[in-house]
Chain A
Amino acid sequence: MAEFETATQLVAAATKTREAGYVDVDAYSPIPIEELHHAIGFPHTKLPLMVLIGGLLGGMGGFSLEYWVSAVAYPLNIGGKPLVSWPMFIPVTFECTILAASLTAVFGMLMLNKLPMPYHPVFNVPRFAMASRNRFFLCIEATDRQFDLDRTREFLTSLDGAHEVTAVAN
């Protein structure tokens, strides 16, 4: 794992790492960096699709609930309107779509990124606490096909702006 002082250095380093063929790479930054996910070659997640499906299911659920309540369970004549007055169902359908979609987004995100994570090997590096303040970290995981303790350390040291290159014990 290498430490950087600026976001620009981290993005440049991440790009070089990806170009060098490393795949199992992770970057840590105290602030969101727009270009970073592209630089480390972060794959597209399934989250948007999950949110879309969640929203559609929520919408259908909301509409079915309204339909069941007003046409099956409690059929009441209100102002001479038909039992299935769909315009009246739209607000609930809409709200349920939003509710289900946002819940899917939050819990889907937690499921995919496996947070909260009480332990991770990088915590063993004392300076890593700086990742939530003003330092930027790039980590090449030992599970990577190209990983070789000495050569990877050499590679990280060669990156622009890298200092404090450390091997992280599992």
Chain B
Amino acid sequence: MALRETAEQIFPELAQKQRTFLLAGAAGLVLSAVGYTMNPEQFFSSYLLAYMLVLGLTLGALGFVMIHQLSGGAWGVVARQSLGAASRVMPVVTLLFIPIAIGMPHLYEWTHADVVNADPILRGKAAYLNTSFFLVRAAIYFIVWNGLVFLLNKWSKEQDETGNLELPLRMQRVSAGGLLLHVLCVSFAAFDWVMSRDPHWFSTIYGALVLVGQGLVAMAFQIIVLAWLARRKPMSEALTPVYLGDLAGLMFAMVVLWAYMSFSQYLIIWSGNLPEEIMWYLHREQPGWIPLAIVLVVFHFAAPFFLLLMRGIKRNPSLVTKVAMLVIVARVIDLFWLIAPETHHEGFVLSWMDLVLPAAMFALWVGLYFQQLRQRPLLPLNDPQFEEALGPAFAHADHGTAH
């Protein structure tokens, strides 16, 4: 049985795919560099959109790794190697933040001293919204994320190799504190990097909204990959229709949570009707943005909601893959809805960079993810929950050394 073989040995074609994705990503990034020389304002706006997408794919995976450490569950035993691979892209995602730090004057109006001085509200916020503190905070977020990714993946690898029973306990402890830190970091990063594009506006649920969006895009991506990996053993044995349904159920939960939070934010601001709060929505009532909101309601909520209500879809690999693809596209549109109207207060504008940059960054990220995925087995070895979750499927297999 192929349990100890790495993904590289089971799927030799991953190397070729990795190269293709990395090349496509690099080509797209070079192409968009042309856009930078033409319109830096638009370039950085699109870059932020692309960055938030790959950040979500990485951090959402990290979040699920920690949730699984605390909650257990067969879905996590099936998905944790792939989730871990996604989280290990974090160091490169950290480097990809550099252009945002460089592009701050184009992205955030509060970086301009003259704008802040002329504006009493921004003067009041200057203790928090200033360039050096912004960069210090970013450094803290990245230290926390990279630290968690490093520790959890290191111990997970040790567990594969030794089966030391101390390790699950250690991973649980780190996940408990880590999850708390993670939620705070994602929340504040969302305030800093996206919400502060409109520095007058604030919404406390905004961070949670971005957090849920990250969980959603990460789970949708994992479902697509796992359904593909289930073409061959051992994933074909492990990803039973029931477990696939569990993963799709988590995606469904994220869809509902996103809709719940988005609507809560809208309802509270709409009913309060205060000038400093409604500006954010008024910018999005400019010509052309409203249809985008309707697209979000239909394709980010209604369509996946009703499709994922049906067990027949949730448990069918090819159907649930299609829903997951729809969800990823909807996530990009939602990020576009959060970011782009701040660049174009005058009305709807879709730049070619809003398409090329997210596509390029996504391709680059997938390439890096494949690189990580190839290095380890597809299912965890020596996981204490393995027997309970996948015992019947691998009754006669030798899965690990510590028996």
Encode B257-286 as 1/0 by CB contact (under 8 A) with A.
000000100110011010000000000000
Is B267 a contact partner of A79 (Cβ separation < 8 A)?
no
CB interface residues, A 22-72, toward B, < 8 Å: 34
Residues of B within 8 A of A79 (CB): 271, 273
Let me know if A103 is at the binding interface, CB within 8 A. Answer: no
Let me know if B242 is at the binding interface, CB within 8 A. Answer: yes
Chain A residue with minimal CB distance to B269?
Answer: A87
Chain B residue with minimal CB distance to A52?
Answer: B309
Let me know if A125 is at the binding interface, CB within 8 A. Answer: no
Q: Which of A34, A87, A88, A91 contacts B242 (CB 8 A)?
A: A34
Chain A residue with minimal CB distance to B264?
Answer: A91
Q: What is the total number of residues of chain A having a CB less than 8 Å from a CB of chain B?
A: 7
Q: How far is the CB of B267 from chain A (nearest CB, A)?
A: 5
The CA-CA distance from A5 to B358 in the complex, in Å, is 58
Residues of B within 8 A of A111 (CB): none
The CA-CA distance from A79 to B271 in the complex, in Å, is 9
Residues of B within 8 A of A88 (CB): 267, 271
Q: How far is the CB of B363 from chain A (nearest CB, A)?
A: 39
CB interface residues, A 69-98, toward B, < 8 Å: 79, 81, 87-88, 90-91
Residues of A within 8 A of B263 (CB): 87, 90
Is B266 a contact partner of A87 (Cβ separation < 8 A)?
yes
Chain B residue with minimal CB distance to A88?
Answer: B271
Q: How far is the CB of B205 from chain A (nearest CB, A)?
A: 15
Residues of A within 8 A of B271 (CB): 79, 81, 87-88
Chain B residue with minimal CB distance to A8?
Answer: B392
The CA-CA distance from A88 to B263 in the complex, in Å, is 11
Q: Which of B242, B267, B273 contacts A90 (CB 8 A)?
A: B267
The CA-CA distance from A135 to B122 in the complex, in Å, is 72
Q: How far is the CB of B312 from chain A (nearest CB, A)?
A: 11
Q: How far is the CB of A115 from chain B (nearest CB, A)?
A: 24
Residues of A within 8 A of B273 (CB): 79, 81
Residues of B within 8 A of A81 (CB): 271, 273
Contact sample, A vs B, 14 pairs, CB 8 Å cutoff: A34-B242, A79-B271, A79-B273, A81-B271, A81-B273, A87-B263, A87-B266, A87-B267, A87-B270, A88-B267, A88-B271, A90-B263, A90-B267, A91-B267
